[in-house]
Structures are given as structure tokens and as C-alpha cells.
A and B are shown apart, each in its own frame.
Chain A
Amino acid sequence: MLAAMPPSPTADLTSLSDVTASESSLTRFLHGLPGVDQVGAEARAASLATRSIKTTAKAQALDLAITMVDLTTLEGQDTPGKVRALAAKAMRPDPADPTCPAAAAVCVYPDMVATAKEVLGDSGVHVAAVATAFPSGRAAMDIKLADTRDAVEAGADEIDMVIDRGAFLSGRYLQVFEEIVAVREACARSGAEDAHLKVIFETGELQTYDNVRRVSWLAMLAGAHFIKTSTGKVQPAATLPVTLVMLEAVRDFRAATGQMVGVKPAGGIRTSKDAIKYLVMVNEVAGGDWLDPDWFRFGASTLLNDLLMQRTKLTTGRYSGPDYFTLD
């Protein structure tokens, strides 16, 4: 229902490059962005969450959500066996129903990329690798870049990096910016498009919505393809209001530069009901153009089974149970 608002670039990227020329100009720009009123933002997110999506719209939303899942395993105890099983599930989430669409990607640690790639081949399901000393981001820059290059060489289509939150919270914005730029460069692949870079903010550590707005602009100016809420290792992870602020940022960035950037909430999204709330928010805040796996993803693991159960309920009319779906 959102009327198509053609982007009206009020600034293009070349003029915005002045903004990132120095620490002080970047700070002035970021601190000059409109503030976010916490109570107001949370109220808007809550109000969008009351939308009621039924019948055909619900079926459409569930299928869309499935295609947006980055099926994730990021555990110390991951083994090739685990990753193979996850990749198989990403390609065929519901073994009993071939009409069920595939997930968008699997998301694994860099040393598991090759294993995932073996299974996924050219199925269209991407391999995303976390990198840059995920989840803490606390390591020397050359180590973080080597981590990234490693994953890209192993075949990762997408890189989910973490920012240096310590640097951000102590105001070293230019450092954070330059690190993102460097990682983006490390995503280059010879003879192919760059691996897509998602930048993880760890919004639970940044705490304020003002910070989320600022870091969103910072990452987009640095060339992020996607901005992502969390690693999933820190609570709170993704929330509706945090994602709302990020969707406003990508909307405003497109209006300013003509360029689209994707959004990925990750962690804590467990039910279909939750996922649909996010889709409604994308629809009404950023617009229908973002309702596509190229521009919106869910970082999740248990969500997929709930989506499958709800999908089955819509087609069979009965509530299903976990016995009817694979565990991984």
C-alpha cells in the first residue's frame, strides 16, 4: 500500500565523501543526524506489531520469510557433519513438501565454508561466513582481514563482519569506518562480484537508538551491502524497534544517494509471528522493494521450523508438531 516514493537524492555519494574525510567531520555528521525518541520508536514498532496478517497474505509472508532465512550455526562444537546437515536442510527445508522454497543462505564460521560449499554447490543457496574475529571483534586488524580473505577464498558468497564496538563507543568513528572499508576490499573476488558484506553492529552493546542510527549511516557510507543487528551471542539481540531504526536509515540513505542497502535482524526471532511482524515493518517503513531476500534476511535457526509448521497448518488445516520436521 506504500505509494512509490521515487528516491530524490539530496546528496550523492561523492559529496558525502566530504563527511568521511576526517574524524571531526564524520563526528559532526553522525551527531547531526536527527535523534531517536526511545518511547516514540518503541511505540511505533509495537503498533506495527498489531497488524493482523491472514489467509493468502499470511501464506505469502511465510514463504517469503523462508526464502529470507540465513540458516545459522555458530558454535564452538560445530563439525563438518553438523554443517552438512544444516546445508541440506537449507536446500530442502521440508522433506515432505517439495513446494517449500529454499532458505537464502547458511551462515557458518570461516573454517566451515568449504564443507558447506561442497553440499550446496550451485543450488542457489548462498554461503555466508562470519569473520573479523566474530563475535567479539577484538583482534588486530591484519588478523581480522586474514580471517575475511580466508573465508572469501574458501568460497563464501557473503561475509558477516563485526564492528569494533569499543572503538565506536569511545568515539573513534573514523577507525570503525576505515575498518569496514578495508574488510569490503578484502571481499573482492577475482572474476566475480565482491562477496556481499554485512556489517554487524551488536546493537545490544550500543544500547541507544541514537547510536544505532549513527552506526547505520557510518556503515552505509563505508560500503556495507547489508547492515545487521547482532551476533546472536549477546542479549538483547534483534528487536523490532532496533530494526525499525535501521529500516529508517536505509530508507533515508536511498533517498539521499539512490542506493539500497539491506537489513538483517539476527538472534531472538523464534516464531513465525515474530517474522511476520518484521515483514510488516519492512513493508510500512522502508517499502516493498526491501521485501526480497536480496535486501532483507533473518539470522535464525529455530525460526525455520516454526515457519514450516505454520506453513503446514495453512495447507493442511491442522496444527503440526516437531516430530514432522527435521531437527537440523
Chain B
Amino acid sequence: MGIDLTYAPAPESRSIVDLKASYGLFIDGEFVDGHGSDSSAFKTINPATEEVLAEVAEADAADVDAAVKAARRAYQRVWSRMPGSERAKYLYRIARIIQERGRELAVLESLDNGKPIKESRDVDIPVVAAHFFYYAGWADKLEFSGYAGSDGSAPRPLGVAGQIIPWNFPLLMLAWKIAPALACGNTVVLKPAETTPLTALLFAEICQQADLPPGVVNIVTGAGETGQALVAHPDIDKVAFTGSTAVGKAIARSIAGTDKKATLELGGKAANIVFDDAPLDQAVEGIVNGIFFNQGHVCCAGSRLLVQESIADDLLERLKRRMSTLRLGDPLDKNTDIGAINSAEQLARIRELSEIGESEGAERWSPSCELPAQGFWFPPTLFTGVTQAHRIAREEVFGPVLSVLTFRTPSEAIEKANNTPYGLSAGVWTEKGSRILHVAGALKAGVVWANTFNKFDPTSPFGGFKESGYGREGGRQGLAAYLKTEQGGR
């Protein structure tokens, strides 16, 4: 009875991407070689196949210095003097070119990061363009932002921003940093993650196509040392960092006592709370989306499922059935739901924490999944019988691993959800409006998703409480990070 409808491979073509063998740094409007020798150049690979995509320069302290100097010159001579309406037009141009080259950017992102083309095409790239459009429109309206000086004049920018972004949403994180910074009149030096530099370098090309004045955007590729050199540079006014909490704390220490302002977007261990009157099928979608979207490489991932005990069995059965329909494989296949883990290091960490979960007594389950021979892969995984005392309930795995805990009452759910040093995001599933609002009000999280999850919009501020960081990106409040507000502050 019935047939087995197998989907043939539906690969997106790679030919639209023109990969160079090697890439330099983007400083003062041009691609230049770094000071480092050839041996310091690093390779960026495709995590789905382990194939080398390109060689990328590693910026040393001298390169970082050149980039900051270029940014400072551009700030003083050009960008801070330009009327907001003209800055806006550059950002609109960039947004348009991103839309025009959308497919190319999506394919490149999937190749370098390992995420499915369906996500880079339908989520990452469109939101990137939208981010530039949104902030373009603020550039000439800053006097209305709510951050104006007491004389009502448009607030001033901070100056030069040093920006460091992670590998999980490479181009989107770049957009979250560069768009508001430029809209407010700052210039930037940005370091992409060492495993995912390619879309940032293509973005540099787009800046050239938009005729962006040289030095306004500078891209310095490299790893931890490059980032440290940037944070430590005496002539930056602002540090914007997205990454691990550990590094965030190191940055906070390093800028102590200086005039540098910082915003930090760090880790999370979000609780996704499902009440007994939740719209169950959509809750299952939300759970799946919350932890398996982007292979779980999401700081705001719903990595802890807190399900009301009375519906736990039913929900888990539905969840497992749904997980069995997830397709893991070639990121460039349009039917792939779960792509590759970004690096060998990350895969090792996910495996280690999963083993710890098992050894602590939680029960592990994954649907049967054929993992390709080459590349870095981890099947979507569920741990049941987890309690707050387990390490997998407390530590960020940053992979497709969901820990399932139960609760009896709303206050117990809130207590467990808040019982963590993190506070980035949370999910609430219930059909009862008053409960959504009460629980949302009680959760110590910067973003609360009710009856949905992992929704991002340029107009919507994003950021954490507690050790998930401080500052907001997106929305009107996102401007504060890049403006001189009279009270000072972060």
C-alpha cells in the first residue's frame, strides 16, 4: 500500500560562484596582501566534503593597524562629514546589490559554512539585504531615534568600530554589525571567523561595486590573534563582538579602564517551554526549528525543551516522528534540512558533550540517519530524562542536540528556564494569551518567542540578559550601540 516517494538529488549549481585560489585583506577599498608570509595564510574548507575552498590571508598586528588607520582617515575626512541622506544611499546600493547577487552569496555561504542552501537562500541572504535596507533608512533620521542630544540634534557616531563575528551566520552577522555602524556614521574594521571568511570577502567586492568610499569598510581575515590585535588597538572607539561567553568576558576585561565601548552577543541555553494547551503540531515545528535549524549552531537555539509533564509522552512521540523526516546531507541539495557541522573542532565538542550526557544517565535518541563518509556530520539528537543537574542542561553544546526536561506548573517552568547564567532567548507555547504575557514577563531573556521560534527581523532588537551579553542589535534600540549618547554607558 502506498509508495516510497524518494526525492532525487536536487543540487544547486556551484558554477555561479567564482572562487579564487587565494584572498587578501580588504583595506582602504582594495584587496592587499597581508604582511604575513605565505605560511601564515590559512585554508578555509567546505565542511561537507573537507575540500579546500581557498587560501585566506592571516592579518597580523601591522595589518590590523593599517586597517584601523584607513578606517580613521575615512571617518575623519569623509564619512562623519557626509550628510546622513548620502550615507543612506550607499547602504541602499549595497542592499540592492546583495539582492541582485543573492543566489551567488547563498551558494558561497553554504559552501563555506555547511548550512543547507534552503536556509542560506530563504533566510540568511534575504534578511541580510533587509538589514541593510532597514538601517539605510535610519541614516538620515537619527534626530528622531530617541537618542538625540538635548537640543534635538542628530546624535553623533562613536568613530571607528572593531567588529568580530562568528561562523554560524557569517554574512548575517556581518550585516548586523556593519549596517547600523555605517548608518550612524561610524567606519569599521571587521574580522570574520576563520572558518567562514568567504562571504565577507565577497561583501568587500560588493562595497567596491557600490563605490563605497575607501576605508569605510575594512575586512581583516584571521583567527584569535587577529581578533585580539583588533580589540587591543588603541585607536578604536567601539568593540562589537558576537561569539562565546568566554571570549566576551576576555574582551570586557581587556577594555576595562579605557574609553572603548562594547556590545557583546554571547552564548545561550534557551528554554523552549511547552504547556499542555499548546498548539501541538506547531509546537513540534517550533522545537525542531529551535534546535535543528542551522544544525543547532545558533546562540539563541531552543536547546532545552521544558515540556509540561501531562503531555510529555504525546509530544515526544510527535517530535520523534517529525525528526525522522529531517533530511541530512549535501548542503547544496535543495532538499537538505540539516547540513554539516562547521568544523572538526566543533564536531569534537558536540560528540564530547553528548557522551557526557549519556554517561550522566540521560537517554539518547536519534532517527536513523546515513552520514556521508567525508565531512563533519552529527545526526539530530534528543536526550530525555534530563534534569537541571546534568551538564547537557547547563552547557552550550552548539549543535543539533536537544535536552528534554519536564515541569508541572508555570512557576516551575519559569524557575527552571531562568536557572542558568545565560539569558539570551526563550520560547513559550500555549494558546492562552495571558499566560504568554505573564511567562514572557517573568523570563530573564532578551528575546521571547511565543508560539514561534528563531524569528529574526531587522526591526526587532536582539540581545541577551546576564552572561549572554549586553547591548542590542536590530531595531531602533540597535542604534544605541553606535551613537554617542550623552550619558555615556556601554
Contacts and interface: CB of A to CB of B under 8 A. Distances in A.
A and B touch in the complex (CB under 8 A): yes
B373 to A, nearest CB: 19
A327 interface: no
Contacts of A283: 5
A61 B279 contact: no
A34 B334 contact: no
Interface stretch (A73-81, A101-109, A120-128, A288-296): A288-296
A54 B9 contact: yes
Interface in A31-48: 34-37, 39-41, 43-44
A294 B3 CA distance: 12
Interface in A15-64: 34-37, 39-41, 43-44, 50-58, 60-61, 64
A107 to B, nearest CB: 23
Given A35-B431, A40-B285, A41-B282, A279 B367 contact: no
Interface residues of A, number: 39
Given A1-B327, A35-B277, A50 B4 contact: no
A118 to B, nearest CB: 31
B278 interface: yes
A291 B325 contact: no
A54 B282 contact: no
A282 to B, nearest CB: 8
Nearest to B280: A34
Interface string B333-365: 011000000000000000000000000000000
Interface in B267-321: 277-282, 285-286, 317, 321
B1 A52 contact: no
A122 B252 CA distance: 81
Interface in B240-288: 277-282, 285-286
B368 interface: yes
B5 A61 contact: yes
Given A2-B324, A34-B279, A50-B334, A40 B286 contact: yes
Nearest to A10: B314
A57 B5 contact: yes
A86 B1 CA distance: 28
Given A34-B279, A284-B325, A50 B5 contact: no
B287 to A, nearest CB: 11
A37 B431 CA distance: 8
B285 A43 contact: yes
A3 B368 contact: yes
Contacts of B452: 37, 39-40
Contacts of A292: 1-3
Contact of B1 (A8, A37, A294): A294
Given A39-B452, A50-B118, A58 B367 contact: no
Given A40-B452, A291-B3, A3 B324 contact: yes
A293 to B, nearest CB: 10
Nearest to A209: B279
Contact of A53 (B8, B278, B286, B321): B8
A41 B327 contact: no
A129 B94 CA distance: 59
A2 B324 CA distance: 6
A280 B6 CA distance: 10
A37 B282 contact: yes
A5 interface: yes
B240 to A, nearest CB: 31
Contacts of A295: 1-2
A60 B281 contact: no
Interface string B1-39: 111111111100000000000000000000000000000
A52 to B, nearest CB: 4
Contacts of A5: 317, 321, 324
B406 interface: no
Contacts of B431: 35
Contacts of B51: none
B451 interface: yes
A292 B10 CA distance: 24
A12 interface: no
Contact of A57 (B8, B281, B324): B8
Nearest to B6: A57
B279 A60 contact: no
Contacts of B327: 1
B122 interface: yes
A242 to B, nearest CB: 14
A54 B10 contact: yes
A1 B324 contact: yes
Contact of A60 (B5, B280, B325): B5
B252 to A, nearest CB: 38
Nearest to A46: B122
A178 interface: no
Interface in B121-140: 122
A41 B122 CA distance: 18
Nearest to B334: A52
A289 B1 CA distance: 6
A248 interface: yes
B7 A53 contact: yes
A74 to B, nearest CB: 29
Interface in B442-474: 451-452
Given A50-B122, A50-B334, A294-B1, A248 B281 contact: yes
A60 B282 CA distance: 30
Contacts of B281: 34, 36, 40-41, 44, 248
A56 B6 CA distance: 9
Contact of B10 (A36, A40, A53, A289): A53
B110 to A, nearest CB: 15
A289 B278 CA distance: 28
A290 B4 CA distance: 10
A290 B118 contact: no
Given A34-B279, A294-B1, A52 B335 contact: yes
Nearest to A50: B118
16 contacts: A1-B324, A2-B321, A5-B317, A8-B317, A34-B281, A40-B281, A40-B451, A44-B281, A44-B285, A51-B335, A52-B335, A57-B5, A60-B5, A61-B5, A64-B5, A292-B2
Given A3-B324, A54-B7, A287-B2, 7 more contacts: A1-B325, A2-B321, A8-B317, A34-B281, A35-B431, A40-B286, A291-B5
Interface of A: 1-3, 5, 8, 34-37, 39-41, 43-44, 50-58, 60-61, 64, 248, 279-280, 283-284, 287-292, 294-295
Closest 10 CB pairs of A and B: A40-B282, A52-B10, A3-B324, A34-B280, A37-B282, A37-B279, A52-B334, A289-B2, A57-B8, A288-B2
